[in-house]
Every structure is written in structure tokens, then in C-alpha cells.
Structure 1
């Protein structure tokens, strides 16, 4: 369970922002979304490979 202590003089908005950041780092929401639908291992590898190819091409274009 995440706990966020509001410091003296700190606004609620700032504390909420820290809480949201902590929550995002735990990747709970991402895990829930992944479990919602089954993805075959071969399809997952294909997606990872496509992302890597895109990233390589993007970085190559930045250098030019």
C-alpha cells in the first residue's frame, strides 16, 4: 500500500502529484491492462522487435 505524507506547508495538489508518480512507478495499472487480454508469446516478441526497429530508425534519422 502506498503512503504519501503531506509535509507541512505543502499543497494537496503537490502531494497528489507525488502519489500519482509513486503509483505509476509500481506499474500496477500496466500489469492490470496486460492481464486483461492474453497475448501469445510470439506476438509479444514481434511487438518488441517492431519497437526496436522503429527506435533504431528514429535514432538513425536524428543523427543525419
Structure 2
């Protein structure tokens, strides 16, 4: 559970904006979206390999 302390005289819109920002940073939203649909292990591994290849390509380009 996220707790957002509100200072006296602070606008509620500003506090909501801080809450939303904190919510996104905690990756709760992405975890909920992941759990919505089952992903086969082979597809998850394929995505992980693809991500690693992309990162390696970026590192190779920097080295040049």
C-alpha cells in the first residue's frame, strides 16, 4: 500500500499526481498487466533472449 503524506494547505490534485508517479515507479501496474494473461515459458525466454541481444548490440555499437 502506498502512503502519500499531505502537507497542510497542499492541493489534492498535487498529492494525486505524486501518488500516480509513485505508483508507476513501483511497477505495480506492469505486474498487474503481466498477471492478466498467462505467458508460456518458451515465449518468456524468447523475449528475454531478444532483450539481451538488443542490449548487447547497443554495447557493441558503443565500443566502436
Could you say whether these structures have the same fold, taking a TM-score greater than 0.5 normalized by the shorter chain as the test? yes
Q: Which of 49-58 and 26-35 deviates more? A: 26-35
Structure-1-length-normalised TM-score: 0.73
- Any runs of at least 4 consecutive aligned residues in structure 1 with deviations exceeding 2 A, and if so which? 6-13, 15-18
Q: Deviation at 1:27?
A: 2.0
Match of 1:28 in 2: 28
CA RMSD of aligned residues (A): 2.0
Aligned residues between the structures: 63
Match of 2:57 in 1: 57
Structure-2-length-normalised TM-score: 0.73
User: Unpaired runs of 5+ in structure 2?
Assistant: none
Q: Deviation at 1:3?
A: 1.8
